[in-house]
Structure 1
């Protein structure tokens, strides 16, 4: 019997939507398949007398769980098969995104075990964060290795053989919504908008509501409510909400995802370059988790736009400079190019168009540890608070902890996090020189503060992206009319999962970004999606 039953609500959440939170959590596995610590934090003072191997195993378990590496987390326990099943059911059944697990001061327990208390902050997709405390027992095995002593209560103290958790959702009121020209938008005709429409102000909707309940496994009776989310809806105002969306672009985006992703999880955002207004926001599967604006993905080589901008801003490299592109480069771990390609004696322009990881990593010494993040925030607005008109995740570019992580950050891996909304905005900023806060409704508060890119850097970035279409990895767009520029990306997830595929592009006054989970390559997975979209809407929106 599964550990957690499906959610019940006025409208049942599709199983594919429930799986979305796991997919997004999994993409947080860091740095080209390597293992990096999630933000579990250091153990408090007083742990010096405990075996460091025990503490390391506890920390690694929490890190793997937080990052979505559930098979790895389970392998650190005394019951890997059962642990993997329970952790997976807990994540999917309760629609949990990226957990934050913070360890407290450990203590020695009975029989020489080590007990590690921790605080769990579990974001329930579309509702809020469920916070609770539990304890992690770690015990030395007969072979001398420390392992997490598996039991249901370590996941949550009230989880047991007779009690499970259950997610209940309540359907909010949906306001009347129109596109930028007043055309009515419906979740029936445009399924990707279903989770978005209820989040828009003006229709009397207070957003989604729900609760996590403790349920008797045998009878299904609710024993208690563990967490409640949302507020009661206000009375409808009767006024339609006018958005920046374009019905034609939205329809084309949804059709492109449906036709070209092969059923994989994917997301796409298209926005105006001159003002950041969102024209289309689509997801596959269409309903459920809005990964287009809430996803937390490693952006892979699409991030080389920001890396290149940072290098060009300080004249650390020029497009014609020779920057060798070998098959492999070792910086604490071995990095390689897609399909272990190499381009000996390549220029930086060639490195960009062929997306050479090793060339970009070789330039890491020309940047300070904070410079990539500073550029992302100062010029591209990434990591600042955005007021889009609906909930959004606005990116993170942490300062690397070591040279290996710095190398990974140069190619959009490590602890870097973005989503299609962020990368569409990055593309728009790169080719216009000015950041505009993305928006789906007009008149939103704007607290961002950015600096324009110098015209010389803008010209260089446009040249690099245009060459990627004419002579590089984005040739899938080369037969379309217009001076299209683009950048592909292949983001490694983990040793067990296929790569995510990315592609960002611009044409005229529109910037587009698409990610396809487990798409393997950007040109092969996200490329056909964007090609279909741009072919379907050959002109800029009014």
Structure 2
């Protein structure tokens, strides 16, 4: 039994055919806040003659307390403090109002009251959590009794339509899971492809007609009959009901999900995309029901970033593949840097430094690049750090100019403040072997605002040779058994003293570029290598 007729009353759940709706009944309706101008003692009626300033001040104080959530204080300023607090407390939870805002209008004095009645109109803007903002106007009546101004309590001061016979109800409609097809029209679902769960959730919110919907309804207090819709939120459902056509390939997606099992239960993610146009064939995440780390994650890319660093060096002729470079076990630049397993390669060529992923060799070449040059190359040729419109929210990378020599040394090997994810590194790989950046896309027809330049053919040829050599004679040997011209690059990225390194690997084969990160995988070859070998072994030719 509901002892207080103005408090929320929860009715039985209904399960309509198109969606699940949660119904929450409330008495009061709107949340309000305080506009900064009148809260500071200024406003449209500051300094004017007319209504008693003390009445206006009391209205402002009431609204300020109400908006700030000081409901006992607000209620104490009314003629019915117990009832006022009861109602004001009920509407906030019932309508899920967050951080309300209220703007006062010009007060009006009741001429027949002999200066003992004033009305202050206000505009209420109530953000309903997860839906939108409901805006309406109402009035605060004030009366002077016993020499003291009070807000004359009545339900209609909360909202003009709130009364003893009618109340408000918030109705939420959960968005249906998006219907999505792959590039060939095959149905995609989280049931068939569990790892797509986070992607489909994002797609639902990014697609016209997707996302949460709801409404504030005026209903009869006794029967619950809806009298009118006060506010509606969320996009309209598409009339045609057609599924979203994605660039994904269900066969690649299945292969990707199976391949991630090779990560041994660790958090991991991978992306596969077409080299010639950036269309995404697979996005997989482990755990399957977690964060979409493949597209939105932020990781240090480790030595896979040496693809970009090498591009910057080769573009300006700062080094050639056969040049001898120094590759000692350690190199100190503010801090001590070392190679994986503290290996050293005396008399190594740049090609050898790339294929064996020699950190100290790349750091030793830092003086041949300007402080901001690595970031400029990443943006100009690889699109990293520009805004991508993938079709779902994405993190598009960051390569800030280093703040000191140590940070510059770290950025040469994909550490420091360099940030990427599997989507970015798959795209970097595709750009390196094709010579041209194509914005990755998950939904065809997305906007492309990126501006890049093609890599010179000379540099593309050198990068392809380096990537191939890393598979045949370097740290990406895990991919050597695969047929065809397979190129790759491993990466090991430090996280913290308390965590094991993240393992990375990128690769390309038959017009598809792939990238994988395994959190706390220790080494790229040992953790991400088996994942990509499994993927490329099982994936169909695209």
Normalising by structure 2, we get a TM-score of 0.63
Match of 1:207 in 2: 211
Cα distance in 2 for partners of 1:209, 1:461 equals 49
Cα distance in 2 for partners of 1:376, 1:311 equals 12
Match of 1:348 in 2: 350
1:438 counterpart = 2:443? no
Cα distance in 1 for partners of 2:369, 2:483 equals 37
Q: How far did residue 193 of structure 1 move?
A: 1.3
Matches of residues 119-518 of structure 1 in structure 2 within 5 Å?
172-200=175-203, 205-207=209-211, 232-237=234-239, 238-257=241-260, 259-518=261-520
Cα distance in 2 for partners of 1:354, 1:172 equals 50
Q: How far did residue 420 of structure 1 move?
A: 0.2
From the superposition, tell whether residues 280 and 206 of structure 1 become closer, same or farther in structure 2 (CA, over 3 Å). Answer: same
From the superposition, tell whether residues 407 and 185 of structure 1 become closer, same or farther in structure 2 (CA, over 3 Å). Answer: same
Gaps spanning 5+ residues in structure 2: where? 1-129, 132-171, 215-231
Contact kept in structure 2, 1:198 and 1:205, CA below 8 Å: no
Matches of residues 6-45 of structure 1 in structure 2 within 5 Å?
none
Match of 2:161 in 1: none
Match of 2:524 in 1: 522
Residue correspondences, number: 355
Contact kept in structure 1, 2:183 and 2:249, CA below 8 Å: yes
Q: How far did residue 236 of structure 1 move?
A: 4.2
Contact kept in structure 2, 1:174 and 1:203, CA below 8 Å: no
Cα distance in 2 for partners of 1:209, 1:496 equals 43
Match of 1:540 in 2: 541
Cα distance in 2 for partners of 1:478, 1:170 equals 52
Q: How far did residue 199 of structure 1 move?
A: 2.8
From the superposition, tell whether residues 240 and 206 of structure 1 become closer, same or farther in structure 2 (CA, over 3 Å). Answer: closer
Q: How far did residue 173 of structure 1 move?
A: 1.8
Q: How far did residue 200 of structure 1 move?
A: 2.6
Q: How far did residue 454 of structure 1 move?
A: 0.1
Q: How far did residue 186 of structure 1 move?
A: 0.9
From the superposition, tell whether residues 507 and 170 of structure 1 become closer, same or farther in structure 2 (CA, over 3 Å). Answer: farther
Cα distance in 1 for partners of 2:207, 2:295 equals 21
Partner SS for 2:331 = strand
Normalising by structure 1, we get a TM-score of 0.63
Bigger RCO of structures 1 and 2 (CA < 8 A, at least 6 apart): 1
The structure having more radius of gyration, on CA atoms, is 2
Contact kept in structure 1, 2:178 and 2:210, CA below 8 Å: no
Q: Which runs of 4+ in 1 moved over 4 A?
A: 201-205
